Amino acid sequence: MLNRADVWTLYRRELRSAFRERTIVVNSILMPIFLYPVLLWVMFTAQTYIQGLNEGFTSRIALVDPVPADHASVLDSLRGREGVRLRGDPEEETPTGPPDILIESEALALLRSGAVDAVVGFRPPEGAGSTLPGNFRVQVRFDGTESRSERARDRVESVLAGYRDTWVQREAERLGMGVEDRVRFLVDVESVSTSREMGTMILGQMLSFFLIIMVALGCFVPSVDTTAGERERSTWETLMTVAASRASVVTAKYLYVATLGIAAGVLNVTAVFLSVGAVLRPLLQGSGEEITFSIPLAAVPVMLAGAVALALFFSAAMMLLASFARSFKDGQALVQPVYWLVFLPLLLGQQTDRTLTPAIASVPVANVSMMIRDAINGVFLWPLIAWTLVVTLATVALALTGARFALRFEDFLLGSFDGSFWRFVRDRISRRRRTDHTTEAGR
């Protein structure tokens, strides 16, 4: 029944015509290579750009009270802080002399209109704070709808925090407290993760998700094109009349769709892997973080196995559904629900500490995603990996059985069938009873 030479000939023909079809080349080859690198690049460029813009803004501060007389240096610290300018201060030279003090209502109006970024007032202390002689309270008003206003608030507050520290230190020295007494102790944190571990964490989250999307995308157009598309072009019937057995024809098509799915997945992983470092570099520059992107060698076969299993699953499911359509467009609509499955792993969460569990390993698609993430992170739970592959291949077998069942019906096989899935099912059920397989259906 299944002739290997036939399958090979048919398979090559499918591939050859695929590479001449623009839609397939775009979806199965170009998108996997460029989509995510480009999107990542656009995203991170925009982010650094916006960050740069934000940092570049000068925060315009309006004072509504004079600085308390004992604390004149607050004013100098404010003026000395880079990126802060008091309203009324001259732009060019370093300002001296008293600053402009605005009327409160006027200052708030300016804040609302966006002409100043924060309004700062010095108030007498309240409650417990009032027992300290010379103490004061600072009121910083900002506009929560403007990011530059929030930044201005942060800048003012950091200046004031610095001032508080020096004041407290002065007081401590006056009280005769030693450093140990004044500071008590320090608290800080340190990550022991290597740059490589950070890299695999990021890669694990990205690749496990991208690979699935891309395998599905790679299968999408070919599966529709090789079934519904053939029907639309009326080449389906031509194919069904060739000497090769139907099993050979269908097998060749199936292998071809799976091949493109695998190719899309592999190309995508390679492209993302190659570009992620370059894309993230400008973002990390200056923050002192270092991230090295690498994948453990043992993860490569696991990823490949995952890609193959997924491709087999997606192509079986998609081809089965697309076979019910008469036109490319209808086919796409029918296959769409399978494509939505790719979001399963996202729905199940992307927590860094999760690894494959027997439960997750039993959920198709999500299990492969988790398996790949584990592998990239260097975690290999072999029994669960095996279980994942078994579950995936079982769903493949299920879909193939469905396809075999559908192919038994002549109207379906020959494409005379009119494309309504429900009509097909209904006809099958009613016809079963009459045990009549030959009448033409769905005219």
Partner 1 sequence: MTPLRPGRGGGVLATILRYELRMLLRDRRTLLIAVVAPLVLFPAWILISRVVERNEERRLDEAEYLYAVAGTLEAWARTAVHEALALPDSGGGDGARAVRFTEVRPPDPDSALRAGDLHVVVHGLTAEEYGALAEEERLEAIERGVDGAAEAEPPPLARALRIRYRAESDFSRGAMSRLREALTDLRRLERDSAFAERGFPVALGDVAEVEDENVATAEEEGGAFLGLALTPFLLLLMLTGGSIVAVDAISGEKERGTLETLLTTSASRGEIVRAKLLAVTVVGVAVALVNGLNLAVYLGLGVLELPASLQMAVSPLRALVVFLLYLPLAFLVSGVLLLVSGFSKSYREYQIYFFPVFLVFLVTALAPLLPGMELRSAMVLVPVSGISLAVREVLGGEVDWLFAGLAFVSTGAVAAWLAILTERTLSNERLISRSELDAADLAGGAALFPRHVFRWFLGFWVLFWVTSLWAGESLGIRGQILVNLVGIFFGGTILLLVRYRLPVREALSLRAPHPAAWIATLVGAPAALALGIGVAEFVNRYVFPVPEEMLEAFGRSLSGPELPLWQLVLFLSVMPGVFEELAFRGALLHGVRQRMGRWGTVLVVGAFFGFFHVSLFRIVPTALLGMILAAVVLFSRSIYPAVLWHALNNALALVPVRLGWIGEDFRLPTWTVVPALAGVAVSLWILWRTGAGRRAAPVPPGPGFRA
**Which positions from 32 through 71 interact with partner 1, judged by CB under 8 A?**
34, 37, 41-42, 45-46, 49-50, 52-57, 71
Binding mask 141-170 for partner 1 (x = CB under 8 A): xxxxx-xx----x---x--xx-xx--xx--
- Helical (H) or strand (E) element with 138: strand 137-142
Which among 12, 5, 3, 18 has a CA at the least distance from the CA of 261?
Answer: 18
Q: Does 125 bind partner 1 (CB under 8 A)?
A: yes
**Which positions from 1 through 30 interact with partner 1, judged by CB under 8 A?**
22-23, 26
Contact range with partner 1 by CB under 8 A, out of 96-104, 326-334, 358-366, 431-439: 326-334
Token pair for 374: 């584990």
DSSP for 51-111 reads HHHHHHSPEEEEESSPPPGGGHHHHHHHHHSTTEEETTS-SSSPP-SPPPB--HHHHHHHH
Contact range with partner 1 by CB under 8 A, out of 127-135, 297-305, 357-365, 399-407: 127-135
Instruction: Report the alpha-carbon distance of residue 249 to residue 260 in Å, rounded.
Output: 17
Binding mask 263-292 for partner 1 (x = CB under 8 A): -----------xx--xx-x---xxxx-x--
Instruction: Report the alpha-carbon distance of residue 425 to residue 437 in Å, rounded.
Output: 13
Q: Does 337 bind partner 1 (CB under 8 A)?
A: yes
Q: Does 76 bind partner 1 (CB under 8 A)?
A: no
Indicate the angle between helix axes 195-224 and 299-322, nearest 10 degrees: 20
- Of the pair 171, 237, the CB lying nearest partner 1 is at 171
Q: Does 97 bind partner 1 (CB under 8 A)?
A: no
Instruction: Report the alpha-carbon distance of residue 300 to residue 182 in Å, rounded.
Output: 56
Q: Does 193 bind partner 1 (CB under 8 A)?
A: yes
Q: Does 110 bind partner 1 (CB under 8 A)?
A: no
**Which positions from 349 through 388 interact with partner 1, judged by CB under 8 A?**
349, 351-353
Which of 3, 77, 135, 362 touches partner 1 by CB under 8 A?
135
Which of 182, 408, 432, 437 touches partner 1 by CB under 8 A?
182
Which of 76, 100, 173, 181 touches partner 1 by CB under 8 A?
181
- Of the pair 135, 235, the CB lying nearest partner 1 is at 135
Instruction: Report the alpha-carbon distance of residue 425 to residue 443 in Å, rounded.
Output: 15
Least distance (Å) from partner 1 to the CB of residue 242?
26
Least distance (Å) from partner 1 to the CB of residue 324?
10
Which of 15, 75, 101, 198 touches partner 1 by CB under 8 A?
198
Least distance (Å) from partner 1 to the CB of residue 164?
5
Q: Which residues pair with 220 in a beta bridge?
A: none
Q: Does 103 bind partner 1 (CB under 8 A)?
A: no
Q: Does 206 bind partner 1 (CB under 8 A)?
A: no
Neighbouring CB atoms inside 10 A of 295's CB total 19
Q: Does 410 bind partner 1 (CB under 8 A)?
A: no
Long-range contacts of 305-308 (CB under 8 A, 24+ apart): 305/389, 306/211, 306/368, 306/371, 306/372, 306/388, 307/211, 307/215, 307/261, 307/262, 307/265, 307/266, 307/269, 308/258, 308/262
| Residue 130 near residue 124, CB atoms below 8 Å | yes
**Which positions from 286 through 325 interact with partner 1, judged by CB under 8 A?**
286-288, 290
